[in-house]
Amino acid sequence: MATADITVFGAGIFGLSIAWTCHQRGAKVQVIDPAGAGAGSSGGLVGALAPHVPENWNPKKAFQLDSLLMAEGFWAEVEAAGGVSSGYGRLGRLQPIADQRTLDLAYARCASAAELWQGQAIWEVRAAAEIGTWCPPSATGMVIHDTLSARIHPRRACAALVAALRAGGVEVRGDGRDEGLMVHATGYQGLRDLNARMGRNLGGGVKGQAALLAYDAGAVPQLYADGLHIIPHADGTLAIGSTSEREFTHPDEPDAQIDQVITRAVTAMPQLAEAEVLERWAGVRPRARSRAPMLGAWPERAGHFIANGGFKIGFGMAPKVAGVMADLLLDGRDQIPEGFRVSDSF
């Protein structure tokens, strides 16, 4: 391979997406990850691409909206290039409404969504009875239905990006030389290393546990009930998650907490009771101090850049993150929003 214009360290969702977008724009790219593609939290199970509530608008919510609207085209191009499905599907989401206060808020957000989501998606309140059996119980008898949420299968999405890159002559390698501009998309371990290097807390990791069930719900909306994401995947499986654990001893080992998650999911959706549990998974997700992604030039390290910290929203943010990082790396255009820049955390 010719000398790389861009070297990406880390083959999780941010690293692979940035590599793909830079490759599409004509850059010579190499991706280096000793653990392989999707080895960290990007190799999880859930894949809920869900928006923030449409109110108190800010740069983070606007960025996420743009990315969610970009996702269908982004993943279609990836799949066409590599021939591997990502499991993407914009099928919406249902959320039960617990009380009158929440119901009043939900109705108010119908109007704000119509304005803020630019007519590209809707947020509506519907009677649970009209939905059918694929609907969690609701104390008020009403549910929120939005058409912006989408599902993706995290592992398949990473595999789709790897296949698309490979089709263009780019392989994920275990090692390689430092060449060109260097992007560090190295997950929670990268944040920990950054903390040690800079002598301050810039972020860390939050453990999450999830489960995969053999349950084919079909092309139906994802659910958010009792604090859980319930995601029917296109391959006939269903993912449930996840926990959020700040303190943990075994980062990659599931424990009794995931059994409690499964029990709560079955309480919400009794039809899951007899489904076989195919896998229990645990991993640590990178969380920047601000909870927003940390993007941009690495202060005091010329030619080095950071793309990290997509806590819980990494897959949803990835298309837009890849675009703004490619703009910065290839054209020198800084379109990273306020609060996302690496310098904001330093």
Tell me if 176 is assigned to some domain: yes
Tell me if 81 is assigned to some domain: yes
Show the domain range for 69: 6-89+151-203+289-345
- List, for the chain, all residue ranges whose pLDDT scores fall below the cut of 70: 1-2, 345-346
pTM greater than 0.85 (yes/no): yes
For 112-158, the pLDDT digits (tens) are 999 999 899 999 999 999 999 999 999 999 999 999 999 999 999 99
Tell me if 218 is assigned to some domain: no
Q: State the DSSP string of 248-288.
A: -S-TT---HHHHHHHHHHHHH-GGGTT-EEEEEEEEEEEEE
CATH code, domain with 176: 3.50.50.60
Query: For residue 172, which of 2, 277, 29 has the smallest C-alpha distance?
Result: 29
Helix (H, G, I), strand (E, B) or coil at 220: coil
Domain count, the chain: 1
* DSSP β-bridge partners for residue 296: 306
For 245-284, the pLDDT digits (tens) are 999 999 999 999 999 999 999 999 999 999 999 999 999 9
Tell me if 269 is assigned to some domain: no
